[in-house]
Amino acid sequence: MFRTASIFIAFLATAASAAPTVEATDRTRWDGLPSVRMKTTGLDVNLLNDWAEKVLASGECNIPGMRPNRFDIDKPYAVLVEPSGNVQRIIVGETGCAGLNSLLGTTVAQWAEEGRYRPTGAKEPRWYVGRIAFARQP
C-alpha cells in the first residue's frame, strides 16, 4: 500500500500544475456522452488488481460481495477533453470506497498525463465517456 501511495503522491507532485480535477459521483448520465477516443488503451490489470486488493484488505471499505481476493470492478468515467486532447476534468463512477475511487481517478489521470486522449477537433472542451474494468477471482 505504501509503494502505491508513494507512486500516487509522486504523480500528484509532478503533475500538480497541469493535473485535471478528479471527482467521484453516481449522478452522471454516462449514456448521454459520446465514447472517448484514445491513442492507446492499455490497462495494467496486475497493478490495478494489487492496489484494489490492498485497499480492500486494509478494512477501509466494506463493499458487499467484494473481498481482497475476490472483486469485480467495472465503472464508467468521463473526461472533459480540450480540442488539443488535454484533459481538464475527470469524473469516475462512485465505488462506495474512497481508496477505490482514488485508484480509478489516478488511472484516468495517468492516461491524461501520458497524452493518451486524442484531439477532438471541436472548438471547445467536450465531455466523453469510457470504462475501467478489472477483476480478481480466486
pLDDT bracket for residue 22 (50, 70, 90): confident
- pLDDT tens string 46-87: 999 999 999 999 998 989 999 999 999 999 999 999 999 999
Q: Which residue matches cell numbers 472517448?
A: 36
Task: Yes or no: say if 125 and 80 are a contact pair by the CB < 8 Å rule.
Answer: yes
The DSSP H or E segment spanning 93 is strand 87-93
What's 32's DSSP letter? Answer: G
